[in-house]
Amino acid sequence: MISVQEAQNIINQNIPKEKHQILPLKEAFGYTTSEDIYSKYNIPNFSQSSMDGYAIRFEDKDLKLKIVGEMSAGTTEPFQLENGTACRIFTGAPLPIGADTVVMQEKIKIENNDYLIIEDYDLEKKLNIRDAGSDAKKDTIAISKDSYLSAAAIGYLAGIGCTEVPVYAQPSVSLILTGNELVQPGNNLEFGQVFESNSYQLESVLKQCGINSIETFWVKDDPLEVEKTLNLAISKTDIVILVGGVSVGDYDYVIDATKKCGIEQQFHKIRQKPGKPFYFGTKDEKLVFGLPGNPSSALTCFYLYIVPVLSKIMKRPTITEKTKATTTSSYKKKAGLTHFLKATYADGKVTPLHAQESYRLQSFAEANCLMILPENSEGCEKDEVVEIILLK
């Protein structure tokens, strides 16, 4: 068995080079830009009003101004503003030629429907004007390489006229669920059967990581079927995640199947609890992970080892974060294995939950973090500072 840190180092050394693709803007949410994105236009591409009011020449602010013309949003015809005049203008409308200031409509007085007197004593030149290019300048970087495309970023790119985005491609993923005892929710649960839950939780967290291309297989504990399905999955997808069958029991066929499929084992078994029989192998640039079948172990290993890989490949913000917290109670363990305890975190304090057994998901459903107890420790005391992994 190897340590948690050794396992993480080996995986990091085998992460394949990222791939790029061009996506339509409406499909790019959640991706990360693989190149700098330049604006082809000045945005806005004309000086415009940020208020409903009147456009004037600032030099005329102390005069009684004749009201001439009107500019509304969407106006495409230029308008020349002469000395001694003011133009009615609305938010988003282009500024008349010659105008350099907009007075809010609440700060003027109208006389005889034809003239206005300005009552804004704090008026400054260029007030209430959005300059051309103030949001994006033509031929300059609008969004830098390695930027996460949030909803706001997608809106901004649309606002500068962008239709396609260069991004880091997401890897395709196969899930292979093994086990004779598994039955899908919705069926009757017979003696000796358990409802299959790993595909539900792992597909969910894959989607949270930005993975949309997921193919899921269910396989009985049959060595030929496991090998056949693994060969198919490794030929079709970039990452294969097997669940169950990775230990050394009579019906655990995954390790033999990986050898027969030409997958090079990088390690098998880690000094940790839960998830000791975790497997990692490679074939060319394809990655193969073997998770324990117990749902809590499978999900813990996924957060620890697969989430960081997906984040690095896609250069996407990770859904986990390591930090420190103060324990609210003591917890005892034997030295020798790193323990990852399901726990809750709030206001700088962490509380380990009940039901830490690897087959139990109830406490994981309540948890928002994993509390780390190093392999050489014998637990922790109340009010001790420990490391935790926040689950976003």
- Co-location of 241 and 163 in the same domain: no
- Co-location of 196 and 150 in the same domain: no
CATH number at residue 259: 3.40.980.10
Residues 190-200: tens digit of each pLDDT? 999 999 999 99
Report how far apart the first and last C-alpha atoms of the chain are (Å, whole number). Answer: 30
* 85 within domain boundaries: yes
Listed residues 314, 331, 354: the one ending a domain: 314
pLDDT band per the 50, 70, 90 thresholds, residue 359: confident
* 52 within domain boundaries: yes
CATH number at residue 343: 2.40.340.10
Q: Find out whether 373 and 339 touch, Cβ atoms under 8 Å.
A: yes
- Co-location of 153 and 251 in the same domain: no
171: how many CB neighbours lie within 10 A of its CB? Answer: 21
Residues 277-303: tens digit of each pLDDT? 999 999 999 999 999 999 999 999 999
Give me the mean pLDDT over the 313-325 stretch.
Answer: 97
Cα 80 to chain centroid distance, Å, stands at: 49
- Co-location of 287 and 253 in the same domain: yes
- Co-location of 120 and 146 in the same domain: no
Tokens 């700098």 found at: 36
DSSP E strands in 230-291: the ranges are 239-243, 264-268, 272-273, 279-283, 286-291
187: how many CB neighbours lie within 10 A of its CB? Answer: 10
* 220 within domain boundaries: yes
How high is the pLDDT of residue 264? 98
For helices 4-13 and 307-314, angle between their N-to-C axes, nearest 10 degrees: 30
User: What 3-state DSSP class applies to 306?
Assistant: helix
Q: Find out whether 352 and 330 touch, Cβ atoms under 8 Å.
A: no
User: Domain of 223?
Assistant: 4-19+170-314
- Co-location of 175 and 293 in the same domain: yes
Cα 161 to chain centroid distance, Å, stands at: 24
* 360 within domain boundaries: yes
- Co-location of 204 and 79 in the same domain: no
pLDDT band per the 50, 70, 90 thresholds, residue 164: very high
Give me the mean pLDDT over the 70-85 stretch.
Answer: 94
- Co-location of 75 and 183 in the same domain: no
How high is the pLDDT of residue 357? 87
- Co-location of 185 and 203 in the same domain: yes
* Residue 215 φ/ψ, nearest 5 degrees: -120, 130
Give whole-number Cα distances, 39 to 22, 129, 157, 159, 162, in Å.
17, 21, 9, 10, 8
Residues 134-146: tens digit of each pLDDT? 999 999 999 999 9
Please give the DSSP secondary-structure letter assigned to residue 282. E
Please give the DSSP secondary-structure letter assigned to residue 115. E
Number of domains the chain contains: 4
Considering the chain, what percentage of its residues have pLDDT values greater than 70?
A: 99
How high is the pLDDT of residue 207? 97
* 136 within domain boundaries: no
Distance CA 38, CA 333 (A): 56
Q: Find out whether 98 and 82 touch, Cβ atoms under 8 Å.
A: yes
Give me the mean pLDDT over the 250-279 stretch.
Answer: 93
Sign of CA dihedral 289, 293, 295, 301: negative
Nearest to 99 by CA among 137, 133, 136, 65: 65
Give me the mean pLDDT over the 312-339 stretch.
Answer: 97
User: What 3-state DSSP class applies to 296?
Assistant: helix
Listed residues 79, 104, 130: the one ending a domain: 130
Distance CA 175, CA 180 (A): 16
> Residue ranges of the alpha helices (H) in the chain?
4-13, 151-159, 198-208, 223-236, 254-260, 295-301, 307-314, 362-366
* 90 within domain boundaries: yes
- Co-location of 161 and 180 in the same domain: no
* 344 within domain boundaries: yes
Residues 175-190: tens digit of each pLDDT? 999 999 999 999 999 9
Considering the chain, what percentage of its residues have pLDDT values greater than 90?
A: 93
Q: Find out whether 138 and 39 touch, Cβ atoms under 8 Å.
A: yes
- Co-location of 301 and 330 in the same domain: no
Residues 373-391: tens digit of each pLDDT? 999 999 999 999 999 999 9
Is residue 83's pLDDT more than 80? yes
pLDDT band per the 50, 70, 90 thresholds, residue 121: confident
How high is the pLDDT of residue 247? 79
How high is the pLDDT of residue 250? 63
Q: Find out whether 300 and 30 touch, Cβ atoms under 8 Å.
A: no
CATH number at residue 160: 3.90.105.10
pLDDT band per the 50, 70, 90 thresholds, residue 252: confident
User: What 3-state DSSP class applies to 40?
Assistant: coil
Average pLDDT score, the chain? 95
Q: What are the DSSP calls for 322-357, one per residue? A: EEEEEESS-EE--TTSEEEEEEEEETTEEEE-S---
Nearest to 178 by CA among 216, 207, 234: 216
Cα 376 to chain centroid distance, Å, stands at: 34
- Co-location of 243 and 178 in the same domain: yes
pLDDT band per the 50, 70, 90 thresholds, residue 11: very high
How high is the pLDDT of residue 251? 63
Is residue 93's pLDDT more than 70? yes
* 135 within domain boundaries: no
Tokens 């192998």 found at: 281
Listed residues 286, 314, 342: the one ending a domain: 314
pTM: 0.88
Distance CA 181, CA 353 (A): 28
User: What 3-state DSSP class applies to 199?
Assistant: helix
